[in-house]
Amino acid sequence: MKAGSNLEKILTGGRFAVTGELGPPKGADVAIIERKVKLLKGNVDAINVTDNQTAIVRMSSIAVSALLKQMGLEPTMQMVCRDRNRIAMQSDIFGAYALGIRNILCLSGDHQKFGNHPTAKNVFDLDSIQLIQTVKKMRDEHKVLSGDEIEGVPQMFIGAAANPFADPFEFRVIRLAKKAAAGVDFIQTQCIYDMDKFERFMQMVRERGLHEKIFILAGVTPLKSVGMARYMKEKVAGMEVPDEIINRMKAAGKEKAKEEGLKICVEQIQRLKTIPGVHGIHLMAIEWEEVVHEIIERAGLLPRPTV
């Protein structure tokens, strides 16, 4: 056991894991967090806390992760490379561990151009793979990057993201292998709509034996409308939405769109459960946390195991 977190125990115990996501408030209002937590509690094994996602300033991931811990849930603290240098990152990893956080997700981070502070300086002292190496060095070698000994080792369960659909497609598995070599323990993918392409990706993953080295959680996001499906297809980088899905959402019409979106999501989860090498799902119900319970229940994944 590397960190002893709930997520790690479920995955190492061979259970199918379910993680959720929570976007912190654009301010210091804790009540917003409490509302979202109510909808997620009991439905997921751990909750990702995003780190200034899309470069929009929100309450810090470490603070919200600490609050989640206080509320009795397990956070997965996301850390991006855009805003912090190696000094601040290692410092925050110490702090996170001290606050009871045991899962960390290492990400590059969306470029600040997307957010509300496009004139900010970006940092990118490290990239996500070097960050994985850093956390691993701190946890397993008990050293910071400079080689100095650590006073109190942060035992983190190390995660990262993978995008099976970004380009170049042939390179995605190699990059995943790099992350595994760097020391990652688990991976969450971007949300998947093109199941066939994902199956091809998983085939390449299995050929390299990666599914036995790291835990892979497949990302899913329920669609609310045909407009949302189209937006994801056209405007979101690294997202692929097959026409079949767009057509189903369109055919459902305005009243039945949400119901169809949930149906598609549950079908996707059922299919993902059957793919060898997929150890769980990461459900990102963006600004639609109310449906998390229904989705997990209909997918036959409740109750969540207690370990």
Partner 1 sequence: MIIADGKPVKEIMAMIVPYQKIVLAGCKGCVTVCSAGGEKEVGILASALHLARQAEGNPIEIKEISLERQCDTEYLEPLRRDIDGYQAVLSIACGAGVQFLAEKFRKHPILPGVNTTFIGVTEEQGVWTERCQSCGNCLLDQTGGICPIARCSKSLMNGPCGGSKAGKCEIDSQVDCGWQLIYDRLKDLGQLDKLEKVMPLKDWSKNRDGGPRKRVREDLKI
Would you say the C-alpha torsion 239, 243, 248, 249 has a positive or negative sign?
positive
Of 30, 57, 99, 166, the one binding partner 1 (CB under 8 A) is 166
CA distances 304 to 6, 31, 264, 288, Å, are 11, 25, 22, 20
Q: Which residues of 86-108 are buried (b: 16+ CB within 10 A; e: fewer)?
A: beebbebbbebbebebbbbbbbb
Q: Does 88 bind partner 1 (CB under 8 A)?
A: no
Q: Does 142 bind partner 1 (CB under 8 A)?
A: no
Q: Does 109 bind partner 1 (CB under 8 A)?
A: yes
Look-up of token digits 């995955």 = 11
Taking the least distance from each CB to partner 1, the nearer of 57 and 123 is: 123
DSSP, residue by residue, 238-291: T----HHHHHHHHHHHHHHHHHHHHHHHHHHHHHHHHSTT--EEEE--TT-GGG
Binding flags for partner 1, 168-207, as an x/- string (CB under 8 A): x--x--xx-xx--xx-------x-----------------
Residues 237 to 256 in contact with partner 1, rule: CB under 8 A: 237-238
Cα angle 108-110-111, degrees, rounded to a multiple of 5:
105
Taking the least distance from each CB to partner 1, the nearer of 179 and 248 is: 179
Taking the least distance from each CB to partner 1, the nearer of 8 and 240 is: 240
Range in contact with partner 1 (rule: CB under 8 A) among 16-24, 166-174, 198-206, 289-297: 166-174
Binding site for partner 1 (CB under 8 A): 81-82, 86, 108-111, 113-114, 122, 124-130, 133, 145, 161-163, 166-168, 171, 174-175, 177-178, 181-182, 190, 237-238
